[in-house]
A = this chain, B = another copy of it.
């Protein structure tokens, strides 16, 4: 089984880190093919970054050399999720949606610990769209920049742990969802320190993808996720036309 793992930003280091985290949890027969857009920001910390990154996700799904069995979008804003679901009949999993679902299975209420405070609103909107705003009891920004997670210092780890402890107490939560794909390598350590489920969406998304593939379930091509209608595309997007 081949899973196309898309890092929506263009930081090669982060693509590799996420790929390693994915491979660490993948089943023996699963091949993780990690990629990133040919254009766009090195990290996603604003709506502007995200708008470019969503187009980059669409590009990577559209131009995939061989059709994958499943696609994972490895950025907590789930950029380009709907576009990707139209562009392939393989299941497409966003790490935020997957993480929220796993957290809802393991606790009555969870908290999200994320990077820049200004991105909290993105998580809040996803929670509302996915119907998870009742299950999530708080979204907490730490103002750790995304790229600082790449070579995570002990201080950064401590900062995230402290934010998680505050969240658990203040929100009366039972689990922590990590609000950035770049936090994947820290998941185990944080889980051990906190003693509650700490959920990394990359790992869950890989397992969810394997699950759906093994069940023969594919994205619905009936109705809203039918393949895009063929039409001219101008400029660089001409390469993506149907």
* Residues of A participating in the B interface, judged by any CB pair closer than 8 Å: 10, 25, 27, 37-43, 45-52, 54-55, 57-58, 62, 80, 82-83, 85-87, 91-93, 97, 101-102, 104-109, 116-118, 120-121, 125, 128-135, 168, 172-175, 188, 191, 195-197, 199, 203-204, 207-208, 210-212, 214-226, 228-229, 231-238, 240-242
- Residue of B93, B117, B211 near A204 (CB, 8 A) is B211
Contacts of A223 in B (CB 8 A): 107-109, 117-118, 168, 172-174
Residues A204 and B215 in contact, CB atoms below 8 Å apart: yes
- Which of A49, A91, A195, A199 has the most chain B CB atoms closer than 10 A to its own CB? A49
Give the chain B neighbours of A212 by CB distance below 8 A: 102, 105-106, 207
User: Quick check: B39 and A233 within 8 Å, CB to CB?
Assistant: yes
Determine the chain B residues whose CB is within 8 A of the CB of A225 once the complex forms.
Answer: 47, 107-108, 174
Cβ distance A190 to chain B, nearest Cβ, rounded Å: 13
Copies in the complex: 6
A40 CB contact (under 8 Å) in B27, B106, B216, B235: B235
- Smallest beta-carbon distance A140→chain B, Å: 11
Q: How far is the CA of A217 from the CA of B207 in the complex (A)?
A: 12
28 A-B pairs with CB atoms under 8 Å apart are: A10-B233, A10-B234, A25-B215, A27-B214, A37-B234, A37-B235, A39-B236, A39-B238, A41-B232, A47-B83, A47-B85, A47-B225, A54-B55, A97-B104, A107-B219, A108-B224, A109-B121, A118-B226, A120-B224, A125-B129, A131-B131, A131-B132, A131-B133, A168-B223, A172-B224, A204-B211, A207-B210, A236-B236
Report yes or no: A108 in contact with B121, Cβ–Cβ below 8 A: yes
